[in-house]
Structure 1
Amino acid sequence: MSGGYQMWPMATPSNPGIDVVAAVGLYVAAVAVGLVALGGVATGASSDALVALVPTAFTTGLLCGVVVARVTADAVVRLGAWRWRTVACWAPASLVAGGAVVLSATGAVSRGWRLLLLGGASVAVVLSGWLLSRTTRDAYVGAAIDDRDDMLVDWTWYQSGTHAFLTAIGLALFGVGTAASLAVGTLSYRFLLPSIVLVVLGWAPTLSVPTPGGDDLTLFSVTGLEGARADVRAYPDGIVVEPRLIPSYRWFVPWDRIVGVRTTADRLVFERRWRPAVRCDRSAIEDAEAVRDAIERARRGTVDSQTTI
Structure 2
Amino acid sequence: MGYAPASSIESVTSVEPPDVGAVAVAGVYVGVAVTAIVIAVGAAAGLSGAAIATSVTTAFTAGLVAGAIAIRRTRGIAERLGQGWPWLGALYLVPAGFAIATLLVSSTSTIPGHAAVGTAIGAVGTGLVALGATPMARTRYARAAVDDDPIANAPLFSTTQARNWTIVGLVFVAIGGVQFVSADGALGGVGFWVAAMALYSIAMAWWSRAAVRLDHGESRLARYLPDRTRRSVLGGEWRTDGRIDTDGLPTLAVHDAGLVVHSGYHKRFHPWTSIGDVTLSDDELRIERPRWTDIRCHRAVIDDADALYESIEAARREGVNAQ
TM-score, length-normalised on structure 1? 0.78
CA distance in 1, matches of 2:92, 2:80: 18
Q: 1:264 aligns with which of 275, 281, 285?
A: 281
Maintained 8 Å contact 1:27/1:125: yes
CA distance in 2, matches of 1:226, 1:276: 25
Maintained 8 Å contact 2:275/2:287: yes
Per-residue deviation, residues 208-253 of structure 1 (Å, max 9, x unmatched): 7x9xxx8554326986886432232222332111112xxx221122
- Count of aligned pairs between the two proteins: 293
Residues 1:180 and 1:86: Cα distance change in structure 2 (over 3 Å): farther
DSSP 3-state at the match of 2:119: helix
Per-residue deviation, residues 55-105 of structure 1 (Å, max 9, x unmatched): 211111112222222232223432323522333222222333333333332
Q: Displacement of 1:288 after TM fit?
A: 1.8
Q: 1:218 aligns with which of 210, 216, 223?
A: 223
Residues 1:137 and 1:303: Cα distance change in structure 2 (over 3 Å): closer
Query: 1:1-309 maps to which residues of 2 (within 5 A)?
Result: 6-8=7-9, 10-11=11-12, 13-81=15-83, 83-109=85-111, 111=113, 114-143=115-144, 145-147=145-147, 149=148, 151-158=150-157, 162-163=161-162, 165-186=164-185, 188=187, 190=192, 191-192=194-195, 194-205=197-208, 207=210, 217-219=222-224, 227=246, 228-244=248-264, 248-265=265-282, 267-273=284-290, 275-282=292-299, 284-301=301-318
CA distance in 1, matches of 2:33, 2:104: 19
Maintained 8 Å contact 2:35/2:56: yes
Q: Displacement of 1:45 after TM fit?
A: 2.0
CA distance in 2, matches of 1:266, 1:195: 28
Q: Displacement of 1:261 after TM fit?
A: 2.4
Residues 1:194 and 1:226: Cα distance change in structure 2 (over 3 Å): farther
Residues 1:153 and 1:11: Cα distance change in structure 2 (over 3 Å): farther
Residues 1:31 and 1:136: Cα distance change in structure 2 (over 3 Å): same
Maintained 8 Å contact 1:269/1:277: yes
Amino acid at match of 1:239: L
Q: State the identity as a percent.
A: 24
Q: Which residue of 1 aligns with 2:228?
A: none
TM-score, length-normalised on structure 2? 0.75
Amino acid at match of 2:259: I
Q: Displacement of 1:33 after TM fit?
A: 1.3
CA distance in 2, matches of 1:269, 1:192: 34
Residues 1:132 and 1:7: Cα distance change in structure 2 (over 3 Å): farther
DSSP 3-state at the match of 2:154: strand
Q: Displacement of 1:168 after TM fit?
A: 4.1
Maintained 8 Å contact 1:24/1:65: yes
CA distance in 1, matches of 2:7, 2:171: 33
Maintained 8 Å contact 2:153/2:251: yes
Per-residue deviation, residues 118-172 of structure 1 (Å, max 9, x unmatched): 31221001111222333222212211x222x374322232456734553443233
Maintained 8 Å contact 2:279/2:285: yes
Maintained 8 Å contact 1:258/1:273: yes
Of Structure 1 and Structure 2, which has the larger fraction of its residues in strand? 1
Maintained 8 Å contact 1:38/1:100: no
Amino acid at match of 1:264: S
